[in-house]
Amino acid sequence: MSYIKISEFGSGAAYAPVNNPLSYGLSGGMDNMFMHGGAARAMQGGATREFAAYAAEYCSTKFDGFCAAMADNTEIEYFPDLLHGAYEGGVPTTMTKGDVVLLNTARTKYLMRMIGGNVSKVPFDPLVAASPLVTVYTAVPGDFMRGEYFIPKGHDVDNDLVMQRLLNRPLVSLPLLLNIYDTMEKMGRLGELAGTKLGLFYDNLKKNAPKFNVSMAALCAGMKL
């Protein structure tokens, strides 16, 4: 018989599914509160800024089964708590919870810079000593936050699961996609998207915009995040 070394005791706890911060919002009820304490009650369904920030950071780097489950949630979310400010430029106040996760993830993934916002790191669960830190933004007094979003150089946008979902949900994602278009055009990098699914989306927008007596510049100005 061999015994585990004291230095190895509990070493797998950090990787146990029950200790995954996403489990705060993916499950609910008394069982969840028993596992995680009082913070879990507020986070049920992802209803806190901290959970939204953690989920967005997690899914922006690894869009796995957890992320797909959250993004596929069709429950209605009234006046959603979206990251990076409340100025939505035409996004409806009623979206699904999955839409909220998708937009938060995309904003985190494609953020170039935040104008009018201060960045800080806060604990995901302040009641847990080893809780991971998440990134949150607060508006500068007298200003409002507005992010500029872009596609990083060399990014394989056609095989990006987050972008694929954005393109499949244009009524929700259009303001963000127009923000990316505007930023890429100002940087002189719009040509890098030629031939990609995102580039073809923009081509179709430019082709059809005149039918409604509107230009891409007007669209970007009117629906900027």
The per-residue pLDDT for range 40-51, each reduced to its tens digit, is: 444 455 568 888
Under 8 Å between Cβ of 193 and 155: no
DSSP the chain: -----GGGTTTTGGGSGGG-TTHHHH--HHHHHHHH-THHHHHGGG-SHHHHHHHHHHHHH---HHHHHHHT---EEES---TT-S--TT--SEEEHHHHHHHHHHHHHHEEEEESEEEEEEESSTTSTTPPEEEEEEEPTT---EEEE---TT--GGG-HHHHHHHH-HHHHHHHHHHHHHHHHHTT-GGGGTTSHHHHHHHHHHHHGGGGT--HHHHHHHS--
The pLDDT assigned to 39 comes to 53
Q: HSE, CB side, 13 Å, CA atoms: give it for residue 62.
A: 5
Domain boundaries, the chain: 6-222
Per-residue pLDDT of the chain (225 residues; tens, 9 = 90+): 555 455 544 455 455 555 677 777 766 555 555 455 555 444 455 568 888 899 999 999 999 998 999 999 998 877 666 777 654 444 556 788 899 999 999 999 999 999 988 999 998 888 777 788 999 988 888 888 889 999 999 999 999 999 999 999 998 899 899 999 999 999 999 999 999 999 999 999 999 888 878 888 888 876 654
Rg (CA), the chain: 20
**How far is residue 136's CA from residue 52's CA, in Å, rounded to a whole number?**
10
Residue 123: count other Cβ atoms within 10 Å of its Cβ: 15
Summarize pLDDT for 89-132 with one digit per residue, the tens.
Answer: 445 567 888 999 999 999 999 999 999 889 999 988 887 777 88
Reference 58, options 11, 27, 25; nearest CA is: 25
